[in-house]
Structure 1
Amino acid sequence: MNIEQVLSPSPELVAELSNLFHAFTISRLPDLPPESEDKIFMVTARSESGVLQGGILANCYWDGLEIETLWVDSQQRGQGLGSILLENAEAFGIRHGAVISFLKTMEAKAFYESCGYEVYGVLEDRPIGTLLYHMKKRLIKAVST
């Protein structure tokens, strides 16, 4: 067997690995929706003059809502805009079948906790000297079977 490290892999090599991994995943979870059904979306807030004041980039897939980026302009922080954006994204997620929301943060742990998120994992030293919090929030109560 030949083991190699490939810097800047070609799109074909990335596709080959991704396709094989996807086939394995589907063999274990045959009803899993395809990535083409992912719902990547943004929630934005702009000033009356059109300047971006805050926004969220998120992806709704596999019964979950992944908050990838949440940013609020420094002059708008502490005024509730982040919570409004987050609530809007969560409502979109619920409408599209998400039962849980999840994210990663280094600096906004307290903010997310105030919005109902809880830590389910901590990664130290990425980057060195920091803590990366993995957080989640149940959007829909689990159904008993």
Structure 2
Amino acid sequence: MIGPDDASANGATALVVLSEPAPDDIVALEDQLYGFNVAATGIDDGRYLSIFLKRDDGTIYAGLHGHSWAGVCEIKTLWIADSERGKGLGSRLLAAAEREARLRGCHVIHLASFTFQAPDFYERHGFQRLVQLEDFPRGHANVLLAKTLMPEAPV
């Protein structure tokens, strides 16, 4: 933690920089921004989207987490344990997220993947590269990808 800035000397509220903020503080901050977004757009359909694969003891060995709002689904995390990779779990998680996003009325899914992670995996699943932020992290790139969701055909 870095200490308060000079503002406190003249009576202003001090800034506090934290490396490990309280989870409740992050939720409060996100809730305030969400409230602003709803007020600006009139759209109040935001929800988390989380899918987990767990062992009998409750240990997560694969999962996906993100959120949907205003017709867009954003995947923030997709992770598979090393011992479970190559078994199609990532494809299953992604397909389940796409189905749920469609049910929520989403028309697109966005995500980011470092070049040492899985951008090629996402491209094989129909995602398009939007932009590549070079040297982030140093020697690599952060790839922003999106996939347009077509409505499912009636059964």
* TM-score (normalizing by structure 2): 0.70
What is the deviation of 1:79? 1.1
What is the deviation of 1:49? 4.2
- Correspondence for 1:104: 112
What amino acid does structure 2 have at the position aligned with 1:39?
A: R
2:142 counterpart (132, 139, 142) = 132
Aligned sequence identity (%): 25
List aligned pairs for 1:13-52, cutoff 5 A. Answer: 22=36, 26=40, 30-31=41-42, 33-34=43-44, 37-52=45-60
- Equivalent residue of 1:75, what SS? helix
Report the number of matched residues.
125
Structure number with bigger Rg? 2
Give ranges in structure 2 of 5+ residues lacking alignment: 1-6, 8-14, 19-24
Is 1:82 the counterpart of 2:93? The answer is no
Distance in 2 (CA, whole Å) between partners of 1:114 and 1:47 is 28
Distance in 1 (CA, whole Å) between partners of 2:57 and 2:133 is 40
Structure 1 contact 58–89 (Cα < 8 Å) conserved? no
Distance in 1 (CA, whole Å) between partners of 2:70 and 2:77 is 19
Distance in 2 (CA, whole Å) between partners of 1:118 and 1:102 is 10
- What's the CA shift string for 1:96-128, capped at 9, x where partnerless? 010000100012011111111110111012222
Distance in 1 (CA, whole Å) between partners of 2:108 and 2:49 is 16
What is the deviation of 1:67? 0.4
Distance in 2 (CA, whole Å) between partners of 1:7 and 1:118 is 39
Runs of 4+ in 1 over 6 A off after TM superposition: none
* TM-score (normalizing by structure 1): 0.74
Is 1:116 the counterpart of 2:122? The answer is no
Distance in 2 (CA, whole Å) between partners of 1:114 and 1:128 is 26
What is the deviation of 1:130? 1.1
